[in-house]
């Protein structure tokens, strides 16, 4: 995907994202009309929250 989309503008990359096999990648153009710094930060927070709930470590006693 990154090789094909490369340095294209976000508007052009949306089609590549929609064709991705990854659910997380497919949701990008559906959730973000533009790819701004604010949207990147919001997505990062969303992914970090998801990762935290998926990969947990029990406290050692």
Q: Name the pLDDT band for 1 (thresholds 50, 70, 90).
A: low
Q: Name the pLDDT band for 2 (thresholds 50, 70, 90).
A: low
| Size (the chain), residues | 61
Q: DSSP alpha helices (H): ranges in the chain?
A: 2-5, 10-18, 23-31, 37-54
Count other C-beta atoms under 10 Å from residue 10's C-beta: 16
What is the per-residue pLDDT across 3-59, written as a single tens digit (0 to 9) for each? Answer: 778 889 999 999 999 999 999 999 999 999 999 999 999 999 999 999 998 888 777
Q: In the prediction, which pLDDT does 21 show?
A: 93
Q: How many CA atoms lie within 13 A of 31 on its CB side?
A: 13
Q: In the prediction, which pLDDT does 32 show?
A: 95
CA distances from 58 to 18, 49, 55, 61 (A): 36, 17, 10, 9
Query: Quick one: how far is CA 11 from the chain centroid?
Result: 15
């Amino acid at each position: 995907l990154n090789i094909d989309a490369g340095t294209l503008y976000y508007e052009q990359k949306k089609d590549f994202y929609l064709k991705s096999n990854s659910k997380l990648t497919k949701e990008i153009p559906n959730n973000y009309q533009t790819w701004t710094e604010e949207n990147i930060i919001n997505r990062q927070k969303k992914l970090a929250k998801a990762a935290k709930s998926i990969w947990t470590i029990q406290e050692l006693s």
